[in-house]
Amino acid sequence: MKKVVIAGGGTAGWIAAAALSRQLGRLIEIVLVESDEIGTVGVGESTIPTARSFNALLGLDEPEFMRATQATFKLGIAFEDWARVGDRYVHSFGQVGTSTWIAEFHHFWLEARARGLAGEIGDYCFELQAAEAGKFATGSDTTINYAYHLDATLYGRFLRARSESHGVTRVEGRIASVEQDPENGFIRALAMESGERVEGDLFIDCTGFRGLLIEQTLRAGYEDWGQWLATDSALAVQTGSVGPALPYTRAIAHRAGWQWRIPLQHRVGNGLVYASAHMEDDDARALLIEKLEGEAITEPRLIRYRTGRRRKTWDKNCIALGLASGFVEPLESTSIHLIMIAVTRLMQLFPFSGISDAVVNRFNEQARSELESIRDFIILHYKLTERDDSAFWRQCRDMAVPDSLAERIGLFREAGFAYQASEDLFRVDSWVQVMLGQRLQPLGHHRVGELMGSERIQQSLADLKGKIAAAVQRMPTHQAFIDRYCAPASA
């Protein structure tokens, strides 16, 4: 297995090319095939903190990367109108309070809350308070957990330049057909419309929703999750900035879905996610335009999708990445992470000696387990609604959910327990912030907090809140930090 062929560019293709060439470039040959005539979805503009680790793995300089992609910092997501119209909470990337080996922080908080001694749980999270204050700083003096808002198209271009400097060969053109070995069905070559053949040993499918290799050729199959995640359409549009960039994404619910606002350095990314069974395209477009802040600088672009996953992410000698592997709607900004983690697993399990069923099965099982956990976390936001103002929200509220999620909800409702399993992306703090934000109040909790006594627990919480407030007070505004940190190198 010496030659890797990546079918398709965009964010997925160039992430794969950049990582493979950086880490394994001296061991393998890498060719990427793409056509300038084929557009990319390109609206994956919000990330989670794992993107920082991946960028470090690529050896990227953060200020250079941020200038190239017009990126801003992200401390979490603000959810508006989800449990009830008028509600608002923040799912931050921070650690909430300080946990012990016997109980997570929120159990102590629940005990204090029951005694009337605690404020909102977000009072005890540094990142959440910084987000709410519009503050940001990073460096040796500040420990803060953050991600990025970025221009996905510019990110792809940035990674293309890095990849080509590390020896990746780019072939321009459309794929006319896919050639398979008649004996075992393995892919042998991509036949281009130009007549060129691009042969390879291992193929990576980054052809988006159409899955040219993994589905149209290998028929890997697709598991549809539409019964739990009813949205299937999105309209995306870019607007000019109307104020300082906020250090968080806004996710604002509407009667048939939700809309996003993602602040970049040079513009704002906007989108409206909706269920076509509950909202006509023209109505969605009108609602999007009505809710825009700032002048539109592009025309709204319609994107159709089907939430679910390929039954096999790795089939024969083909691995699907990005949209070709499946799609969980963008509510928690996991799309780019899923590309990055899949490439990381591929590098760890790279089949230098040939395709092994054991390796393929391990790769597929890890991908399935993580994606199902992410799926459950997204469904959680919809299921735990009390909205009764539209058929869409009533459907979400009343739907049956996967057993794995029902168990999590029951565990938190009955005893206040939350957990992060081995393949789970989201931490305990994430599950707790969303469940509490969606008004799921536990009936019970671990009583270890009783051992502290009222005076001690109240003082501990007050001290923690005060330290966080003081630290946030000392920070510059997010916009001021961006302006300085991302200034041109020559400035």
467 catalytic, yes or no? no
How far separated are the first and last CA of the chain, in Å rounded?
Answer: 47
Distance CA 457, CA 177 (A): 67
Question: Can you say whether the dihedral through the CA atoms of 94, 241, 486, 235 is positive or negative?
Answer: positive
φ and ψ at residue 313, rounded to 5 degrees: -75, -35
Instruction: Report how far residue 263's alpha carbon sits from residue 77's, in angstroms, rounded to the nearest whole number.
Output: 12
Cα radius of gyration (the chain)? 23
Cβ contact 261:293 at 8 Å:
yes
**134: alpha, beta or left? (left if phi > 0; alpha if psi -120 to 50):** left
Burial of 15 (0-12, 13-18, 19+ CB in 10 A): buried
Q: Give the C-alpha separation, 157 to 166, whole Å.
A: 14
Cα dihedral 435→227→12→318 (10° resolution): 130
Q: CA 345 from chain center: how many Å?
A: 17
Nearest CA to 375 out of 219, 227, 160, 475 is that of: 227
* Residues present in the chain in total: 491
Per annotation, catalytic residue among 3, 74, 135, 291? 74
**C-beta of residue 346 within 8 angstroms of C-beta of residue 322:** no
Name the residues annotated as catalytic: 74
